[in-house]
Structure 1
Amino acid sequence: MNISAKTEYACIAMLELACQYAGQKPVRIRSIAQRHGIPARFLVQILLQLKAAGLVQSTRGAAGGYRLARDPALVTLRDVTQILDGQPATITSKAEHATSISTTLIDIFNHFRAQQTEMLQTITLAELMQRAEQETNPMYYI
């Protein structure tokens, strides 16, 4: 599975916004861009797409920025990837003549893609926040 820079940056931005969801404090693009080394102009375009899709809201002004429009437990990775990448296309054979071998391979590839989509649908921003927190604060058992 190839992840575009645009999709990766969108997921990073959404997780940053998810971390601030409880306080509903808007997050500035500049802070996300600097923290993760993402070009700010690119991030602006990404957040505008997410806003148009209803996943984020923006506030203008000195205390402005972006925030999640929904609870992080209700936003999945598939929600984000589908906005940026669209619906995955069905894989078709490039072979000139369809054979049982090429048909079998294409069926497997399409099944694999469907499994990826299903998995992305089950992973929420809230779950990813928990995983990131565990990475930051590992537990040591004695």
Structure 2
Amino acid sequence: MELSNKSEYALLALLELASCYPSGESLQIRQMAVLQDIPNRYLEQLLATLRRRGLIKSIRGAKGGYVLARDPRKITLLEAWSSIEGVDAAVPTVEQNSKTLETQIINEVWQEARQAANAVLEKYTLQDLCERRLKHREKELMYYI
């Protein structure tokens, strides 16, 4: 199982928005793009998808931009990932017409792996990512002092 660039960029953008959530500050596309080194045009498409899925809201005006639609403690990584990759990506599919016993066995194990991955992604929220980032930054500061 691999994290696509699309999902990684979306999670990076959501992480930045989650960081701003307590202050209520909005972020513009170009700010997020610079902070996380994401191409502007690609980020526009990702944010539009996240907005349609109800994870973020857009704010119009001179100080407009994007904000999370809900508390980052209530947005799981599974929800964020499936918003970008599609709900079908998160739901295990069972191949009913497998050609051989071996194929059926491989599919069973693959389904188990997907369910385990989904369980891990369901366990963590955007807030958890923010807290991990903060801990890593504190470690880096401690190391250099």
Q: TM-score, normalised by structure 1?
A: 0.90
CA deviations 1:18-61 (Å, max 9, x no partner) are 00001111111101101211101110111111111111011112
Q: Greater helix share, 1 or 2?
A: 2
Q: Which residue number in structure 2 is paired with residue 51 of structure 1?
A: 51
Could you tell me which runs of 5 or more consecutive residues in structure 1 were left unpaired when the two chains were aligned: none
Shift of 1:5: 1.0
Q: TM-score, normalised by structure 2?
A: 0.88
Identity in percent: 35
Q: CA RMSD in A?
A: 1.8
Q: Which residue number in structure 2 is paired with residue 61 of structure 1?
A: 61
Q: Which residue number in structure 2 is paired with residue 109 of structure 1?
A: 110
Alpha carbons of structure 1 residues 109 and 66: separation in structure 2 relative to 1, 3 Å: same
Q: Is the 8 A contact 1:29 1:44 kept in 2?
A: yes
Q: Which amino acid aligns with 1:57?
A: K
3-state SS in 1 of match to 2:22 = coil
Equivalent residues, number: 138
Structure 2 CA distance for aligned equivalents of residues 35 and 19 of structure 1 = 12
Equivalent residue runs for 1:65-80 within 5 Å: 65-80=65-80
Structure 2 CA distance for aligned equivalents of residues 7 and 26 of structure 1 = 21
Structure 2 CA distance for aligned equivalents of residues 72 and 6 of structure 1 = 20
Q: Which residue number in structure 2 is paired with residue 98 of structure 1?
A: 100
